[in-house]
Amino acid sequence: MALVSYYTVFVLLDHWLGLGTTAGAAHAAAFSLLLAACFFSFLCAAAADPGSVPSAFSPDAEDPQGQGLKSRYCDKCCIHKPARTHHCKVCKRCILKMDHHCVWINNCVGYTNYKAFIICVLNATIGSLYSSVIFVCDLLRTEHDFSIHYVKIIHLLRERSGGMRTGALHTLTAGSPPPAGRHPSRSGGWEGLRRTGILAGVVLFSLSLTIGSLLCWHIYLICHNMTTIEIMGPNVFCWLCPTATGHLKDGTEFQNTNN
């Protein structure tokens, strides 16, 4: 994340618009705020307790058998566990409404930190897409500048040579540097920057596709109440705040619906 952020701001943005310009500074500030929101959500998801079974919980003996809400007994923890509670082999305890154990946050994604996890993935998806757009804009700008410079070099050589052959012109201009003041002249040559840019583009688009797919999958699950539709809360304006969890109950009872 740090490498992508550095490359986006100090290489792509600085080369495309310049950090000293109003537009460049605005884009850098927006990207930095998005990165800060993503990091804050990451910390919330990683540091929070995903949810433990309350010590006072006891199964309802009058629960009907066919509702999918029947409490189960965990042989490892020796406790009754509510619906949607699973035992995590990594954390070695039962997690309320466990979704999965995430290696990236080194924590289970469960009842109390699922919202922070979703917002972290959302911010990461937006950030990677934002970085990809900046990459494309910088690439188009670079190709445009190089084309103009290339044409000027050829025109100048033709004027001075009085009709030099195309092969000779190509030999003289093949290693032409980009316009003065641009980053290629300070980073080891034009071809080296092009190879670095291609590699960065592949990484950015792959990252966007991977995180975006994860986000779409969890949005689908949330919309079908297959995991945590109640985790986001009733107030739409608080959905993007990872600490707005006042609507959560004890995590032992849930609505059994697919609406």
Instruction: State the catalytic residues.
Output: 102
Nearest to 98 by CA among 116, 115, 110: 110
Cβ 203 vs Cβ 4: under 8 Å:
yes
Token pair of 131, please? 């970085």
- The three-state secondary structure class of 140 is helix
Nearest to 244 by CA among 232, 230, 229, 228: 232
As to burial, measured by CB atoms within 10 angstroms (0-12 exposed, 13-18 middle, 19+ buried), residue 248 is middle
134/255 Cα distance (integer angstroms): 43
9/7 Cα distance (integer angstroms): 6
